[in-house]
Structures are given as structure tokens and as C-alpha cells.
Chain A
Amino acid sequence: MVLSIRSRARFYLPPYCVPALIFFPKTHSISRNKPKPPAPHCHAAGDAAATVLGPPVSEKYLYKQLKDGRVFQVEYAGKAVDNSGTVVGIKCKDGIVLGVEKLVTSKMILKGSNRRVHSVHRNTGLAVAGLAADGRQIVARAKSEAANYEKVYGEPMPVKELADRVASYVHLCTLYWWLRPFGCGVILGGYDRDGPQLYMIEPSGLSYKYFGAALGKGRQAAKTEIEKLKLSELTCREGIVEVAKIIYGVHDEAKDKAFELELSWVCDESNRQHEKVPDDLVEQAKAAAQAALEEMDAD
């Protein structure tokens, strides 16, 4: 039923697809003193993508893999993820908690807009780190895959299968010169027959199953914090507080002033449905996180 990725790509030009480069060098120029060619037209992602995807120097095009095996465009896409607000996901004993440090760039932005955590099916959620517009595309695709699976097989899509499909889709965009990689990484959490599961998919298409995962600016610090937690004994209620503490702890007060905390969970308490954590629990978690921060500062 599933067409091979190659045949799909050959016949269909996805509407989102952006030709990442217009300029083609006619010959391999040995001289390094050539004047720099104009920046490529990037319709969807705008100027941000031009900087992320790097200057159009010949050896940094997507279709060329250098002698050391690196594909530059994929690495540059990863940089977009690394510069975004922190996204944390943990697998507790009775479910998954996803948390996002949503950096608020302007005071004019309405609270609650620019959602970073999306429901992809009844029992699965996706948290996006990186270019938000790219993330929307991945979410749309994941929703579509999950809906189609249920239509065909009559049961909700297993999380493993969904992670696989999303990873294939993200990877697809690293294979052709006329596509650019997604500038976003995604943490997918869901609860199905095999229990709660957490997957992280990177812009290269790599996807692993995790106990705890983090993306974005504060990922190193967040990962250290997650490793300290005893996840197999944590319930989701406690997990929410831990995630809030991690995100508050990792937030850089100096560089980015305001941020909104988006928390969602899938657990036994939420009837195995993916939903935003109820407001009262979020407030409790925030209060606990702020208290923990003050304690740390007081030391």
C-alpha cells in the first residue's frame, strides 16, 4: 500500500517544496577569488533559511557529499533546531510529558498563539523545535498519516509506526537537490498498546526511541537534568513539575526575556488522550519550578 519513497518523490512535487538553490556553477572553480553569487530565492522560509542553509558556495549544495561524508545542508538545518527554544520530553511510568520553552519575541503576541505542541492523533502528540513553519508541515503530515492508518486498518496508529513515517518523510527531504531539509526537530510522544513511548526525530531523519529527550538551546543542560530523574518511578503528575523545573532552569534570563511554558501529556490520568495539561496543574508546576529556581539562586 505504501509506495516506495523514491517513486513517490519522482511523481509528485510537494506543494511546500522550496528550491533551495537557483544558482548552478557551470564548472568547478579552482580560484577562490570568485565574487560571491546572489543568495538563492527561498520562498517559504525567507531570510532565516538563507542564513541557516549557509551561503551558496559550491561545495555546500545539498546534492554534494564531501569526502568526509558530511552533507552540509543537513548540518545547517540542525543549527536552526539548536537555536530554538528548548523542547523537553520525558517518559514516565504511566505516560509521556512534553514541555516547550516558547520564546516570546514580541510583547504584541497574543498569549497562547504559535503553538509548539500539537496533537497528531487522539493518543499522540508532537513538540516542535526549530523553524515553526517547517514544523507545521511535519505536524500536518503526521496527522494525515495517522488518520489514513486508522481509515485503512481500523485502529489508532501505533506510535512506533508513526515515528517511522515521520522520520522517513523528514529524511526524504535530505535526498534530493530540489528539496531542502526541514529546519526543525520533533519530539513525538504517544500511548498505545505497548505503553507510553517517546521518539525524537532530527532534521537528518534520524529517529530513536528515548526515555528522555531534549532539543534546542538548552538541550545539554536539560539532558543532564533528565538523566538525574528516576523516570521509571515518576508519575506524570510529578513529571510535569520536573519538566517545568528543567525548562525554567535551562531558560537563559540574560539573552531571552520572556517565555511561555507549554506543557502537554498523554497518560492514564488523561485517559490516554493527548491533551494540554490542565491549567491548575500547569500553575502548580510553574510555582514549584520558580520556587526551585529561587532556591538555587539563594545558594
Chain B
Amino acid sequence: MAWQQPMDGSHASGSKVAAADGPGTQRTQYPYVTGTSVIALKYKDGVIMACDTGASYGSTLRYKSVERIKAVGKHSLIGASGEFSDFQEILRYLDELTLSDHMWDDGNSLGPKEVHSYLTRVMYNRRNKFDPLWNSLVLGGVKKGPKGEEKYLGMVNMIGTHFEENHIATGFGNHLAIPILRAEWCEDMTFEEAVKLVEKCLLVLLYRDRSSINKFQIAKITTEGATIYPPYSLKTHWGFAAFENPSKGAVGSW
């Protein structure tokens, strides 16, 4: 262990691939085990985040009990879609970051804005080295700021694009959930209203996204801290007339 190397948590330069890359080496990665969409929105008391608990291995729905939303420090929640192993690595970086922050013990703690900023830097720098962390991360939290308790919700993706919004969806959620959120989100929803809206989006994703499973987790973050609820299922309805005799009007070759 070199004496001079500062072992601080912000040293997340990530990839240990040698700088001297020969002509035959590849840097682009493929995601192997991936999580699908994450949905999040701000509500009255804080931020609510939800996703399913599945991780696919290509087209196989391989892992069915995966927690893709985690608490970060005292003030934030992080949710990820994309390569699950990269998410685990990001969690490790965040763990180092929050630990060294915690050990200062000076009354300050990292809020969601700071964590979002840190993640943006990490993701962007990795993409510049052609070695991205193949994730879309959703960062939500509540922290006391100059204007009182400030809610924060933002997103970073694998190429380093980052923004802050009132409602976020990643993956397929971008196409299926965002239109619903844009139409029905309003300022200061109660927790129950927020859950209803989120469940509406999750249901649409369940029907239409082939890599989602019927097992969801909702998490919320408020001034009291983070709560990640146990997984549950949504009721689906398949009793449509068109499903009754599916091959009725089919034209077959034999």
C-alpha cells in the first residue's frame, strides 16, 4: 500500500484498466444483468421512488428479488436502472464517500444535491475514458437549505447527462411513464396520491415493458429519513375479449 496515496473516498477514478492500451483492447462494455425503469416524483413531504425488483440477464428475467433503490447517507435515496454490477460499484463509492463525510463529525452531512453532483462527475469521467458505468441513476432527497427543507430530485445517465426535475423516469419509463407524470403530477401531493400515481405508471410498465416483473418496491425519503417498503404486487387485468380465443381470426399456413 503506497504511503503517499491519499485514501479518501472521492478517489473514485474507477476503472483499473491500465492506461497503456494496446491495439487489440476494447473499452466499450455491454450490460449483462440489467434492471429496468425507475420512477420518482416529488410530493408534499419529500420524494417518492419506485421500481420493480427484477434484474434481467438479456431476455431472461433472471433475478426476481433485487433491491434497486438504496438509501445514501441521511438525506437521499438512489435508484438505478441498467447494469446491476455497476450499481453495486457506485454504492461502494457512495459508501466510502458517506463514511469519510461521517467521520468528520462536524455537524454537516452530504445532501442529495451534493451526492448528485458527485455522481455526475463520476459518470461523466468514466464515459470520457470509454469505460462507462452502464446505469441511469435517480437521486432524490430532502435536506435543509437556505429556504428551509428543500426537496431535490435529479437524474444522471451513463453518458453524464444530468438534470433536476419534479418527476423522473428511466429506461422504458421515459416513454411510458413520463407522459402520465406530466399530465397528472401536481405540486404538494399527499403520500397516498403520490403512491396512486406511481402505481399507475408501474402498472403500465408492467403491461408493456417485457423486462419488468410484478413485484415492486416503493421508497420514500422525508425529513425523518428514508423508508424502503417491502415488495408487493399489483393486480393486473387480463380478461379482455380479444384474449379469449386468441387464434380465432388467425391466418395460419397449415
Contacts and interface: CB of A to CB of B under 8 A. Distances in A.
Are A and B associated in one complex? yes
Decide if the interface of chain B is mainly helix, strand, loop or mixed.
loop
B249 to A, nearest CB: 58
B20 interface: no
A15 B3 CA distance: 9
B244 interface: no
Contact of A119 (B9, B92, B102): B102
B1 A3 contact: yes
Contact of B7 (A15, A115, A144): A144
Interface residue tally of chain B, by bracket? 10 to 19
Contact of B4 (A15, A145, A147, A148): A15
Contact of A118 (B3, B4, B9, B103): B103
B242 interface: no
Nearest to A122: B99
Nearest to A13: B3
B88 to A, nearest CB: 11
A118 B104 CA distance: 8
Given A147-B9, A147-B96, A119 B105 contact: yes
B100 interface: yes
A276 to B, nearest CB: 6
Interface in B1-27: 1-4, 6-7, 9
Contact of B2 (A12, A121, A275): A12
Contacts of A12: 2-4
Interface string B83-120: 00000000010001001101101000000000000000
Interface string A199-210: 000000000000
A1 B1 CA distance: 8
A119 B1 CA distance: 21
A275 B4 CA distance: 28
Nearest to B11: A147
A69 interface: no
Contacts of A121: 99, 103
Contacts of A276: 105
Nearest to B3: A12
Contacts of A145: 1
B84 to A, nearest CB: 17
A2 interface: yes
Contacts of A257: none
22 contacts: A2-B1, A12-B2, A14-B3, A14-B4, A115-B105, A118-B103, A119-B102, A119-B103, A120-B103, A121-B103, A122-B99, A122-B102, A143-B100, A143-B103, A144-B6, A144-B7, A147-B9, A147-B96, A147-B99, A148-B7, A151-B92, A275-B105
Listed from nearest, the 4 A-B pairs whose CB atoms lie closest are A144-B7, A119-B103, A12-B3, A147-B7
Given A12-B2, A15-B4, A148-B7, 17 more contacts: A2-B1, A12-B3, A14-B4, A118-B103, A119-B105, A120-B103, A121-B103, A122-B99, A143-B7, A143-B103, A144-B6, A144-B7, A147-B9, A147-B96, A148-B1, A151-B92, A151-B96
Interface of A: 1-3, 8, 12, 14-15, 115, 118-122, 143-145, 147-148, 151, 275-276
